[in-house]
Amino acid sequence: MALPLLSNQKMNSYLKEIADQCGINKTLTFHIARHTFATTVTLSNNVPIETVSKMLGHKDLKTTQHYAKVLDAKVGKDMRALGRKLK
């Protein structure tokens, strides 16, 4: 692990410091990082939601669905792939 995980509050403090040093003007939190990981890193790269759920440590898939918002771009990409398969 790159940063020690002492508490959610401490992790958020580290993320704020990183954002400040990188010139990022958005508030970064551990919670936002989980959403980003689930949505843009995994699901958008075709990792099955069941696998994402396991990675996030969820016992219920509905919890993962809350974190893993399906992006419109992903829906379009999947529909184009389906169209190619059906030709």
Using CA atoms, how far apart are residues 5 and 28, in angstroms rounded to an integer? 15
pTM of the model: 0.67
* Domain boundaries along the sequence of the chain: 9-19+26-86
- What is the residue-level pLDDT of the chain in tens, covering all 87 positions? 665 657 888 889 989 999 999 999 999 998 888 888 888 899 888 899 999 999 999 999 998 887 766 777 788 888 999 999 998
Given this model, what pLDDT does residue 18 score?
Answer: 93
Rounded to whole angstroms, the Cα distance separating 83 from 1 reads: 41
Tell me how far apart the alpha carbons of residues 80 and 71 are, in angstroms, rounded to a whole number. Answer: 15
Q: Hunting for tokens 């184009």 — which residue is that?
A: 80
Residues with Cβ within 8 Å of 5's Cβ and at least 6 positions away in sequence, in order, are 11
pLDDT of residue 1: 61
Dihedrals φ, ψ of 43, to 5°?
-60, -40
